[in-house]
Amino acid sequence: MSIFQAFLCGVVYFLAIGNLPFVGLWSLQRPLVCGLITGIILGDPLMGAMTGASINLVYLGFISAGGSMPADMALAGILGTAFAITGGLDAKTALSVAVPIGLLGTIVWYGRMTFGSVFVHVADNYIEKGEYHKIWRANVLFPQLMTALITIIPCGLAAYFGASYISGFIEALSGTALTIFTVIGGMMPALGVAITLQYIFKGEARVFLFLGFILATYSGLDLLPLGVIAGLTALIYVQATGNKADSEEDEIYE
């Protein structure tokens, strides 16, 4: 990996968690997306997408409630993909490496939230002086510069130096240890699926879970037609329950 490629990996990480318009939490932060982009940077988009998709399975039920961040899935996706491509790892082994990286990445998130609170007082100072035209600096410019500083440099260094050591690390673990990593990596997606099922397997949604499972298992259809069928089913269900609710409301008013 070249220094420029490592720098680009750091930029992708910054864009993934920088909360910039149209990028970040709802798009680029997902390991599937940032894994694909990392793969493009390193010249292997297919491996990047495959590795990112495997890492994404762990974070299917990912939520950030009340400002807490249980894991940094963007960093896991970027570095996990980078190490997979540069170190010749398969997707499962890369996944077992990426998850601990995601946990370590929470330091960046909490550091950003902690030091970012300083800029609130900077904005207060501008208001007290009547310099309202400078408030945008405390609201946008300074926080983004700080975020760039604590994301681009650490991620770039980790990608560059980590890539140079990952091959030797894998060779040292070859054999039983590497097999254990592969098995653990293969089991981790079950965690993400299980967390997602906790949200789905409730109330009237249970019947759709079983219906979708049977359809996916025995129909032989690809993901695209299955997705279309699921979307149409959801639309019909919403329309049916909506009409029922409207009729009940009319009866109450009558």
| pLDDT (0 to 100) of residue 221 | 79
Report whether pLDDT(40) > 90.
yes
- 191, 198, 226 from 93: Cα distances, Å: 16, 27, 29
Tokens of 80: 């996990």
Work out the average pLDDT over 20-34. 77
Q: How many residues does the chain have?
A: 254
Mean predicted lDDT score pLDDT of the chain = 78
Tokens of 247: 């009729």
What's the DSSP call for residue 203?
Answer: T
Residue pair 10/150 in contact (Cβ under 8 Å)? The answer is no
What is the pLDDT confidence band of residue 37, given thresholds at 50, 70 and 90? very high
Helices (H), ranges, 42-117: 45-58, 73-87, 91-104, 106-116
| pLDDT (0 to 100) of residue 189 | 60
| pLDDT (0 to 100) of residue 100 | 78
Handedness of CA 168, 171, 176, 181 (dihedral sign): positive
| pLDDT (0 to 100) of residue 41 | 92
Residue 89 φ/ψ, nearest 5 degrees: -85, 155
pTM: 0.69
Report whether pLDDT(14) > 60.
yes
Residue by residue, DSSP assigns 9-29 as: HHHHHHHHHS--TTSSTTTTT
What's the DSSP call for residue 43?
Answer: T
Work out the average pLDDT over 5-19. 87
Report whether pLDDT(244) > 60.
no
Work out the average pLDDT over 241-248. 59
Report whether pLDDT(49) > 80.
yes
Residue pair 84/45 in contact (Cβ under 8 Å)? The answer is no
| pLDDT (0 to 100) of residue 80 | 87
Q: What is the pLDDT of residues 130-176, one digit of tens each?
A: 888 888 888 888 888 888 888 888 888 888 887 666 555 556 656 66
The most confident of 58-72, 120-134, 231-245, by mean pLDDT: 120-134
Work out the average pLDDT over 241-249. 58
| Helix/strand/coil (H/E/C) assignment for every residue in 117-150 | CHHHHHHHHHHHHCCHHHHHHHHHHHHHHHHHHH
What is the pLDDT confidence band of residue 24, given thresholds at 50, 70 and 90? low
Report whether pLDDT(249) > 90.
no
Q: What is the pLDDT of residues 88-111, one digit of tens each?
A: 777 777 777 777 787 777 788 878
Work out the average pLDDT over 42-49. 88
What is the pLDDT confidence band of residue 196, given thresholds at 50, 70 and 90? low
Task: For residue 214, give the amino acid letter.
Answer: I
Report whether pLDDT(243) > 70.
no
What is the pLDDT confidence band of residue 250, given thresholds at 50, 70 and 90? low
